[in-house]
Amino acid sequence: LGEAAERDERHARRDGHGTDAALWSQQLIWDCRDARLAMQVLAAAPIELPSAEPSEPVPSALARLVAALRGQRALLVLLNPATALGAERIALAEGVRLFAISDERDLLCWDRALTIGLPVYGVRGTVACDLLKPTPENVLAALGFGAFSCEDGLTPIELVEDPYGVRWRLSELGEAAIIVRGGFEAQRLRGFAGEWRDAGGEGYVRIELTTAHGRCWTQPRFIAPRRSGGHGR
């Protein structure tokens, strides 16, 4: 995710005005007492960041940086969740808003974090977000609240979420894997278009769209339990 800021800038132009929303970005590689910690800070403007303390463990380093960024109009990306903490200790990443997803081990960390209720979003491929006005603040808000998708050669024609589910439409035949709490695949749908309606017990729902030419990943929607008689599939 070394070029996350540039990716965000490019995809903040979808309002049609052709203007930029450049973010300030700095990557941090800290050799902590128990593991190497790779991070990236995204901010609306340059900010002063703390220095590494080699004697402290990864959880302490993360907590110190999260505290330093509080109120700074900035987001912290954990670039190596699997090697820095691992799924067993991922709860210690509380306060980190974004995980870089590089492999299946990072994906396991992300799903474990979502399962225990951490509001964290996954970044991979190219970040795509729709903004009314492409400003750094709006880009940060979209990233911080999961109002974006990630693309690798696949841009859906339509991708619409509402309080009860999500629907999509593709330009070619594809598959949609519906991932719920625990990283379990609840359903797999095939076709040019599809729709998922929440049952209420999923915990969270994220969707992986795949075609012959690319992939697209949505961000998790956190699902509140519904009373009987509510919306379902």
The number of residues making up the chain comes to 233
Consecutive H or E run containing 188: strand 184-197
Which whole number is the average pLDDT over 89-101?
97
DSSP code, position 130: -
Specify the pTM. Answer: 0.87
Phi–psi pair at 159, nearest 5 degrees: -150, 100
Quick count: other Cβ atoms within 10 Å of Cβ 122?
23
Instruction: Give pLDDT, residue 20.
Output: 53
Mean pLDDT, residues 111-126 taken together? 96
Residues 6+ apart with CB under 8 A from 3: none
Q: Is 148 exposed, middle or buried (0-12, 13-18, 19+ CB in 10 A)?
A: buried
pLDDT tens, position by position, 176-215? 999 999 999 999 999 999 999 999 999 999 999 999 999 9
Task: List the 36-43 sheet strands across, edge first.
Answer: 24-31, 36-43, 74-78, 98-100, 121-123
- Asked whether the beta carbons of 106 and 100 are under 8 A apart, the reply is yes
pLDDT of residue 130: 83
